Structure 1
Amino acid sequence: MAKSVVSIAQCSNYETDTITRSLHDVLAPLGGIEAFVKPGDTVLLKVNLLRSAAPDKAVTTHPALVEATINAVRAAGGVPIVGDSPGGPNSASMVKKIVETTELGAVCARTGTELVIFDTDTVRIKSTNGKLYTSFNVGRIVRDADVVIGMPKLKTHGFQRLTGAVKVFFGVIPGLEKAQFHLKVPGRMDFAEMLLDVYLAVKPHLSIMDAVVAMEGDGPAGGTPRSVGVLMAATDAVAMDFVASAAIGIEPLDVYTNLAAHDRGLLGGMDDIEIVGARLADIRVDDFKLATGDMADRIPGRFLEFFKDLATSKPFLAAGETCTGCATCKQSCPNDAIDLSTGKPRFDYSACIRCYCCEELCPELAVKRKNHWIVRPFLRGRR
């Protein structure tokens, strides 16, 4: 069986000449953009537009890479469209702030590219190889585009350990419907199975990963930018996530979506991947900081609910002085576990399902996670 090819190209910064050259270099081993885009094709660039954050915060796909990809698609004769559904309620004012702050709105305006938020015009698509779900409600353009290119940002993730080429497609699901999946499949492995079902439903043609500056620590929104200095490209998003995991020092099968894919037989392991371009050994960042861990993986699933208070980290208001009482956390909570009657969030841990949407979507980064004091000594030194 042929190996999945993952291309890696060095990219030291987001300067226009640098990012354009690196994008060309990373796509060349796959046949160039012309191998995927034909004249007249409508091409959806599915970016990571998680929430309002400046490009240098490493929360969203960098606008310079998006612009370079728009230009490459146009040069091949395609019609690019940029799209995503950010996390949270996505009111008109929130979306306006997100596209302005991330600078993706400016890129689309400058290049004359349509920017689509998937929340209003939706259709149902099938996931014929789905394990937990056989169909999903998604933005219409996801179904109608001739070509779908995923453009993930390499980041740690408090719930799934890594957010990359597979998880970026969770954003095809509109608005707060995403939060409801946390309620329907609250377990980390089941959630990963659902993410894989979404990815298999979308069937993207190509993934281009922004790992020029990644996010370490408590990603996907509250971590710290960390230079990795590469772009990656692949037709197999699972293989890309295996390589991305290894590049930042995570055992690939410790990432839930990778494990789910492995268990389904979609990829055996690193030996089934051909890496071209830069060598993995030359780009590896072994001291990359991971998201706050907990004891959940050490407790058998049937006992986890009973020991949830000890085994899992809890969200809490870490920076009350920066909390504005905007209610994003409450609106994003799928199980109504947050009370705002005092103007600041108070968490009902008996109702909290530990999805960490509140932490992920807090615009002020006022919500963090902590472990029970009893288990903290057992977590020291764990990555």
Structure 2
Amino acid sequence: MGLLSTPVQIENGSVGDMKAHLNRRELIQRLGAAAAGLYLAPARLTASTPAPIAPVAISRCSSYGPEVVSALASMFDQLGGLAKLVSGKTVAIKINVTGSSTERFRGLSQGQTYWVHPQVVSATVHLLGQAGARRIRLLESPTSSKVHTLEEFISQAGWKVSELTSAAPRVEMENTNFAGPSKQYVRFAVPGGGMLFKAYDLNRSYEDCDVFVSLAKLKEHTTAGLTGSMKNLFGITPTTIYGEGAGIDEPSQEAAGGRSMLHNGSRQPSKSALPELNPHSPRDPGYRVPRVTVDLVAARPIHLSIIDGIQTVAGGEGPWARQMRTVPPGLLIAGTNCVTTDAVCAALMGFDPMADRGTPPFENCDSTLKLAEELGIGTRDLRRVEVIGVPISKGRIDFRKV
């Protein structure tokens, strides 16, 4: 079991003592964060408690070659070093490999367009191993595949699994659509009661870790405005519970399509999980998706955000977005606060991170950055953020004009 919290196991739909669970989780997370030299946000933002800040590192990186390792290593050093965060610990990495394992855009690989690139994953794993990580787990819940293992899913996209598993000692992978060997999901309570759900049932790998990393792609998102380290967590929800074809009473035995219920409230999750707080709340995806995202970030805090912006796309998060087009920012971004990191990413994409609904990139949705800031997770105010490495003004590329 990881050191950050004590799980509430889900058996026959019971919740257990969620209040005691949350108190233990919060206490131990704060102690662990203090030991790592990090700062976790208060449960709620108040006038006397400003949202936390943390530096963000930006590096130029023109290709997916050996320079990825050196660029990331330099950035991690600038942020204070990986060893004090991961040495002797289990590290879980949520990778961003959305949609199909076979669908490519204009003949380019998924990693060159709308997935995080395998070279960035491999370099991250390598550096975590060098820093003393005891165990590294790559996690994702694919929506469009019937395969049961993450290894098979990424292999279909041309990834070489052996290059990832050999990048450091004891590297594992798990398709978190399923409960896994424990055969039990874990209920993650949202501090403060949640905006859309009070709690989410997830694969226990998101619990059984000491350090949680979000490894995402720098790109726009048709529903949430932009994809970054926070939106990446939307994919930790198992489709067996939150998918279009999820079981009614219990989780399904197969991956069950897209997460439309989280987008438009077309149905409720499997009855083994908690229903949404208010079934009469707006069914608008632009209202729901940002709130689910922030719920998940609050329930499963991110300790390290890494964003692949070497080659990416604008106009959407995948080939199903009609306006999607390639963009070559040539950047890597990393930070220890997910809100601060995503705010810098927004600025690098030519957007104002202080924007609200109705203003790019949030024309049709609420701002995930604003919601997370209001919850006290981090600040989106760049005036309070130390940017290390490439200045935003030198790295910015207008995603709406390329």
Q: Same fold (TM over 0.5)?
A: yes
Task: Give the Å deviation of 1:27.
Answer: 1.1
8 Å CA contact 1:153, 1:164 repeated in 2 = yes
Cα deviations by residue, 1:32-75 (Å, 9 ceiling, x for unpaired): 21131012x11111100113153454221110011111111111
1:25 to 69, 74, 77: 74
Q: 1:288 to 1:26 in 2, by over 3 A?
A: farther
Task: Give the Å deviation of 1:257.
Answer: 0.7
Cα deviations by residue, 1:116-158 (Å, 9 ceiling, x for unpaired): 1101113211111333322111121101111111101111111
Cα deviations by residue, 1:202-226 (Å, 9 ceiling, x for unpaired): 1111111111112112333452331
* Pair 1:47-2:95 in alignment: yes
1:36 to 85, 91, 101: 85
For residue 338 of structure 2, what is the aligned residue in structure 1? 237
8 Å CA contact 1:155, 1:162 repeated in 2 = yes
For residue 134 of structure 1, what is the aligned residue in structure 2? 198
8 Å CA contact 2:343, 2:380 repeated in 1 = no
CA distance in 1, matches of 2:93, 2:380: 28
CA distance in 2, matches of 1:102, 1:258: 34
Q: Which residue identity is paired with 1:19?
A: V
Q: 1:289 to 1:99 in 2, by over 3 A?
A: farther
Q: 1:32 to 1:202 in 2, by over 3 A?
A: same
* Pair 1:183-2:264 in alignment: yes
1:209 to 303, 307, 313: 307
Q: 1:206 to 1:104 in 2, by over 3 A?
A: farther
User: Secondary structure of 1:131's partner?
Assistant: coil
Q: Show structure 2 runs of 5+ residues with no match.
A: 1-49, 180-184, 243-258, 266-282
1:280 to 385, 388, 392: 392
Q: Which residue identity is paired with 1:192?
A: P
User: Secondary structure of 2:223's partner?
Assistant: coil
For residue 257 of structure 1, what is the aligned residue in structure 2? 368
Task: Give the Å deviation of 1:244.
Answer: 0.7
Cα deviations by residue, 1:66-87 (Å, 9 ceiling, x for unpaired): 1111111111221111111122
1:151 to 196, 212, 215: 215
CA distance in 2, matches of 1:57, 1:9: 18
Higher RCO structure, 1 or 2 (CA under 8 Å, sep 6+): 2
Q: Which residue identity is paired with 2:395?
A: I
CA distance in 1, matches of 2:79, 2:111: 29
More helix by share: 1
For residue 200 of structure 1, what is the aligned residue in structure 2? 298
Q: 1:59 to 1:125 in 2, by over 3 A?
A: same
Q: 1:201 to 1:140 in 2, by over 3 A?
A: same
CA distance in 2, matches of 1:98, 1:289: 32
8 Å CA contact 1:9, 1:277 repeated in 2 = yes
8 Å CA contact 1:151, 1:165 repeated in 2 = yes
For residue 62 of structure 1, what is the aligned residue in structure 2? 117
The count of corresponding residues between Structure 1 and Structure 2 is 288
Q: 1:84 to 1:94 in 2, by over 3 A?
A: closer
CA distance in 1, matches of 2:344, 2:160: 27
> Where do 1:48-127 residues align within 5 Å?
48-51=96-99, 52=101, 53=104, 54-78=109-133, 79-88=135-144, 90-92=146-148, 96-101=152-157, 103=159, 105-111=161-167, 113-121=171-179, 122-127=185-190
More strand by share: 1
Q: Which residue identity is paired with 1:186?
A: D
CA distance in 2, matches of 1:242, 1:212: 18
8 Å CA contact 1:55, 1:103 repeated in 2 = no
Q: Which residue identity is paired with 1:197?
A: D
Cα deviations by residue, 1:188-213 (Å, 9 ceiling, x for unpaired): 13321221010111111111111111
TM-score relative to the length of structure 1: 0.69
Q: Which residue identity is paired with 2:65?
A: E
> Where do 1:361-372 residues align within 5 Å?
none
CA distance in 2, matches of 1:59, 1:141: 25
Task: Give the Å deviation of 1:93.
Answer: 8.8
Q: Which residue identity is paired with 1:71?
A: H
CA distance in 1, matches of 2:91, 2:197: 26
Q: Which residue identity is paired with 1:127?
A: V
Q: Show structure 1 runs of 5+ residues with no match.
A: 291-383
CA distance in 2, matches of 1:42, 1:56: 26
Q: Percent identity at matched positions?
A: 25
Cα deviations by residue, 1:237-263 (Å, 9 ceiling, x for unpaired): 111111111111122224421132244
> Where do 1:267-346 residues align within 5 Å?
267=379, 269-286=381-398, 288-289=400-401
8 Å CA contact 1:55, 1:102 repeated in 2 = no
8 Å CA contact 1:90, 1:175 repeated in 2 = no
CA distance in 2, matches of 1:186, 1:102: 36
CA distance in 1, matches of 2:151, 2:145: 9
8 Å CA contact 2:139, 2:175 repeated in 1 = yes
User: Secondary structure of 1:152's partner?
Assistant: strand
Cα deviations by residue, 1:252-309 (Å, 9 ceiling, x for unpaired): 224421132244454252222221111001100025459xxxxxxxxxxxxxxxxxxx
Task: Give the Å deviation of 1:90.
Answer: 3.9
